[in-house]
Chain A
């Protein structure tokens, strides 16, 4: 691979844009295909374009046969970001688990008694309102958003931003009754039933979790499930 090509690939990854490297392993020739190029000519509708789109959708690298040539497609999708509102007990349990899995975490909570470095050693904790800091966090389709405060003043602006940004996972803590109130508020704010249906509530897989750490496991499992087995 040419160094210039590697630099281009790294620039795409740095900017959190999905890309695929197509390598002819027989000749060593390689070509970078940015996700954004798939919509236009000449890739749109071509055999190569479809193979790349399929690999990107599955997030899976592999060899494909295109026009009689074997090409190895290396898929680069941005690393997962997780943004949580609520510097609460569940977040404290989630933080080291996310680190283990390699997800990048940001916790937002305007309540300064909760959002302290002592409670979250080594984590990015922002003692600010979501509407203040979310624009700077550039949440996207490779972001999971989890609302854990139980307080609509804090959680709702975060959920709205997550819905608008098309986060691949959106979860919100709270009973079915709490969620019904949330649905009503979001509808009033102009979100459709289908959009609101993207919110996982109650949050986490139903594994009978009781302690904050167990709930953290169920939330993390649900995030991974949504990432790896998109419906």
Chain B
């Protein structure tokens, strides 16, 4: 079982070495209450499989969708989710906080 981020980065390396396309999402900033601390990782492969967490479940779905674009384009991007943002409201960061997530491809 993957209980911490260390296992997750090892899994990212294993996935990439097995020839899977992989993106790493990292929480780079939080405002207010946020369920996962800065530095937390979520990894995503080209099929949409993912491991780890950046929000305790609230925005993972949206991050996975963006990660697939990042894998496709090869360009990193920064996403923000929060209650002030209509999109984020829809995906629902129930804790009322705001988070920024950096998503990058493994190349």
Interface residues of A (CB under 8 A from B): 1-3, 6-7, 9-10, 13-14, 23, 25, 28, 60-63, 72, 74-76, 79, 102
User: Assuming the A-B contacts A25-B76, A28-B75, A28-B76, are A13 and B9 also in contact, with contact meaning beta carbons closer than 8 angstroms in the complex?
Assistant: yes
Give the residues in chain B near A13, CB-CB below 8 Å: 6, 9-10
Query: Contact: B12 with A6, CB < 8 Å?
Result: yes
Query: Contact: B39 with A74, CB < 8 Å?
Result: yes
B50 part of interface (Cβ distance < 8 Å): no
Residue interface mask B33-77, A partner, CB < 8 A = 1? 000011100000000000000000000000000000000000110
Query: Contact: B12 with A25, CB < 8 Å?
Result: no
Give the residues in chain B near A9, CB-CB below 8 Å: 9
Complex Cα distance, B26 from A3, in Å, reads: 16
Interface residues of B (CB under 8 A from A): 3-4, 6, 9-10, 12-13, 16-17, 24, 26, 28-29, 37-39, 75-76, 78, 102, 104-107
Query: Contact: A10 with B10, CB < 8 Å?
Result: yes
CB-CB nearest in chain B for A9: B9
Complex Cα distance, B75 from A110, in Å, reads: 56
Pick from B9, B12, B39, B106: contact of A75, CB below 8 A: B39
User: Assuming the A-B contacts A23-B102, A25-B78, A74-B39, are A79 and B9 also in contact, with contact meaning beta carbons closer than 8 angstroms in the complex?
Assistant: no
Query: Contact: B38 with A6, CB < 8 Å?
Result: no
Give the residues in chain A near B17, CB-CB below 8 Å: 3
Q: Distance in Å from the Cβ of A108 to the closest Cβ of chain B?
A: 24
Query: Contact: A6 with B78, CB < 8 Å?
Result: no
Query: Contact: B106 with A60, CB < 8 Å?
Result: no
Give the residues in chain B near A63, CB-CB below 8 Å: 28-29
Query: Contact: A10 with B106, CB < 8 Å?
Result: no
User: Assuming the A-B contacts A3-B106, A6-B106, A28-B104, are A79 and B13 also in contact, with contact meaning beta carbons closer than 8 angstroms in the complex?
Assistant: no
Pick from B13, B29, B104: contact of A7, CB below 8 A: B13
Query: Contact: B107 with A61, CB < 8 Å?
Result: no
Q: Distance in Å from the Cβ of B12 to the closest Cβ of chain A?
A: 6
Give the residues in chain B near A10, CB-CB below 8 Å: 9-10, 13
Give the residues in chain B near A102, CB-CB below 8 Å: 3-4
With A1-B105, A3-B13, A25-B76 given, name 16 new contacts (CB 8 A): A1-B104, A6-B9, A6-B12, A9-B9, A10-B13, A13-B6, A28-B76, A60-B39, A61-B28, A61-B38, A61-B39, A63-B29, A74-B26, A75-B39, A102-B3, A102-B4
